[in-house]
Amino acid sequence: MAGHETHHILDLPAFDKPVKLLIVVAPYYKDIADDLVAGARAVAARAGATADLVEVPGALEVPAAIGLAFRMSNYDGFVALGCVIRGETTHYDTVCNDSSRGLMLLGLQGACLGNGILTVETREQAVVRADPAGQDKGGGAAAAALHLIALSRKWAGQTKGIGFKPAGEEFRIAGTGRGPDRA
């Protein structure tokens, strides 16, 4: 049973420059959303990050709002929060798949984000996962965003070599006296 599993959780990264997060939440289930936000804010505070909050109507709008902020703002990272509970129709599948796909595409484009949109079968499952004193999925999403920000900062400014030419080295044609000879 998943309730008896143990998981390894990485320590929060340390930052030498301020970190600014944007939490985007769909408060369709307000009590669950409030717990997710509380967890995300607590983790952000523990890492010394500031966090702004915006609300959107539903989980499908979360990736769109993050995409706008990613292109038009100065946030270092993003936390996606919300809850989708299975109902009687296939709308659940559409919302789960499309919101997740939208967030994944943003991540692949370079947005440092954590996905804390719960996709559950029952309200009870959501309550356990959202509770900051329980599974704290909001805090986990904030931690994921912070870890990606740390990686982004670590790799910022690094360049790759092109072809056989190492980055930063001049290429000299052998025997011409131009640049370092290569054998």
DSSP labels, 22-82: EEEE--SSHHHHHHHHHHHHHHHHHTT-EEEEEE-SSTTHHHHHHHHHHHHS--SEEEEEE
- Write out the two tokens for 143: 């931690």
Given a contact cutoff of 8 angstroms between Cβ atoms, the answer to whether 28 and 66 are in contact is no
Assigned token pair, 182: 């290569």
Please give the Cα distance from 95 to 72 (Å, whole number): 25
- d(CA 135, CA 147) in angstroms, rounded, equals 19
In the 8-state DSSP scheme, what is residue 120? E
- Sheet containing 113-120: which strands, arranged edge to edge? 50-55, 20-25, 77-85, 113-120
Please tell me which residue in 4, 7, 91, 147 is annotated as part of the active site. Answer: 91
Q: Is 91 a catalytic residue?
A: yes
Torsion of CA 33, 115, 110, 163, to 10 degrees: 180
Catalytic residues: 91
